[in-house]
Structure 1
Amino acid sequence: MAARTGSGGVPVVLVHGSRTSATMWRRQLEALERAGVPAMATELPGHGARRGEPFTLDGAVAAVRRDVEALGGRALVAGLSLGGYVAIEHRARHPEQSAGLVAASCCTTSSSVLRPAWLSLARWIETWPDHGARLNDTFVRLALDAEGARDLAAGGFALRAMTQVLRELGPTDTLGALAAASSPVWFVNGRYDHFRAQERAFVGAARAGGAAARLVVVPHARHLVSLDAPVSFTRTLLEAQAVVTSAAADHAAVSAPASVA
């Protein structure tokens, strides 16, 4: 878990993707620190410093909940891929903690027809002698620049977590979870992300729950959008934080008791 302190409005909690760790958010944490925004990057069970633990969705949501509590009890939660699904579930289970949601690279439901194939592939790769380490290193080297690859690798890779992740996410109703809360949502996807398939359904589900929902598609970027296009992603993150901070200030002003002359 990595943290930055500050006093610049609504805090931000960042939730990493599958097999990665909190270190993937280094550039976003530095940008938030420069802006004076309190921020923390959650370490999910089964990943990073917690690789010895099994991954469960309940445990992942609990990790986000604890970090939001540590930052004052209400935050903008941003997650990528697995982190996006966890952030959506956290918002549904703990709406009082959600000032807003940035859900990146996760606009495909876990009930996708491709899920059984992904599960079979993950199970097979995890039986390899190196658990897919060489394949993973090749993918990272081809997908990212040197700086992004270093950030992604800094916390180590959870090479045996993917089967657990797919099993845990399988029964979830992501669209129902999006409709279960009303805090604003930003969906952020790379233009060439294979997880974009149900963008309209995800936006519609969030709006059905009363949320203001916006879709941001980052040109030229792929699935790891925060690492592939860090400037564009961070700009959207800061804009979302400014929006929820302004809304919180307006709510506080309306709720404040009138002064007595």
Structure 2
Amino acid sequence: MDTIETTEAGLPIVFVHGTRVSGTMWHPVIQHIGGSHPMAAPDLPGHGARRGEPFTIPSAVDAVSEAMDTLGGRALVVGLSLGGYVAIATAARHPDRVLGLVAMGCTALPRGLFSAAYRGAGRAAAAYPEAANRLSAFAFRCTLPHPLAEAMVSGGLSSEITPSVVKAVTDMKPLASLSAYPGPVWLVNGARDRFRRDERAFLRACRAGRLSVRPGYGHVTSLSDTGAVARTVLDAAAVVTAGTDRVPTLEAGR
């Protein structure tokens, strides 16, 4: 696990990565934020340094909890894609420890044709994992700025874990988890992200939620503007640090 500690009194932040990549995907954002906040980006089971371990949502939540422990026990939790779903589950299990939640690219309820396509992609990736890893690396390098693409692949890729991830996510009840969490939530989507399809339902489930939609961006490409992502995280940290119990429920960025 990558942990950046500082003598500053900034709010601790834990970053949670997406499927088949690792905590290194967050390095450009972490570097942009700098040393003002203690930060950690753990590898989830089955990913990065933990490749080969079985993946479940409870074990992933444990990984995030352990990262929070290294930073003092409480933190703002930021996740993208799978990391967003894991962050939501962590907030529901540990509402007293998750001081705020930034959930990016994870406002879809996998069901119907969407769920079938999701499962099919997972089976294909697991059937030919090394080919899927090479294809993923190629896609990252074609669509993302060079530093971000290299951050995506530098911790290793693990496409073989995809079916377990798909099953775990499709078995989740993220709306119930959000409803159970009393803290502030920032839902952030790219306008072209297929995982934003149920964003309004996710927003309604939040007790204190804000939805931001970033024009022109897709699922992973939402990280392309590293500065904008860092500002979103820092703004959320500032709200939590100020002790604001609720954030406005509104849509922004259209």
For normalisation by structure 2, the TM-score amounts to 0.91
Amino acid at match of 2:158: A
1:26 maps to 2:27: yes
CA distance in 1, matches of 2:242, 2:129: 52
CA distance in 2, matches of 1:245, 1:214: 17
* 8 A Cα contact 1:131 1:160, kept in partner: no
1:203 maps to 2:196: no
Aligned to 2:167: 167
* 8 A Cα contact 2:81 2:104, kept in partner: yes
- The equivalent position to 2:214 in structure 1, one of 212, 218, 223, is 218
Aligned to 1:121: 121
* 8 A Cα contact 1:105 1:195, kept in partner: yes
User: SS at the partner of 2:76?
Assistant: strand
Runs of 4 or more, structure 1, over 3 Å off, are: 110-113
* 8 A Cα contact 1:189 1:225, kept in partner: no
Offset of 1:110 from its aligned partner? 3.2
- Distance change >3 Å, CA 56–CA 31, structure 1 → 2: same
* 8 A Cα contact 2:143 2:221, kept in partner: no
CA distance in 1, matches of 2:100, 2:133: 35
Offset of 1:111 from its aligned partner? 3.5
The structure with the largest alpha-carbon Rg is 1
Q: How does 1:48-59 map to 2 (within 5 A)?
A: 48-59=48-59
CA distance in 2, matches of 1:68, 1:133: 30
Identity %: 42
CA distance in 1, matches of 2:179, 2:30: 29
User: SS at the partner of 1:138?
Assistant: helix
Query: Deviations for 1:65-106, whole angstroms, at most 9, x for unmatched residues?
Result: 111122111110000000000000000011111110000000
1:42 maps to 2:42: yes
CA distance in 2, matches of 1:91, 1:205: 13
More off after superposition, 137-146 vs 122-131: 122-131
- The equivalent position to 2:242 in structure 1, one of 246, 250, 254, is 246
Amino acid at match of 2:216: H
Query: Deviations for 1:158-198, whole angstroms, at most 9, x for unmatched residues?
Result: 11011010111222101110000110000111121111111
Aligned to 2:107: 107
CA distance in 1, matches of 2:45, 2:220: 20
- Distance change >3 Å, CA 129–CA 81, structure 1 → 2: closer
How large is the Cα RMSD of the aligned pairs? 1.7
Query: Deviations for 1:215-259, whole angstroms, at most 9, x for unmatched residues?
Result: 1122222111453221111110110011101118x9xxxxxxxxx
* 8 A Cα contact 1:221 1:229, kept in partner: no
Amino acid at match of 1:174: P
Q: Structure 2 stretches of 5 or more lacking a match?
A: 246-254
Q: Structure 1 stretches of 5 or more lacking a match?
A: 251-261
Count of residue correspondences: 244
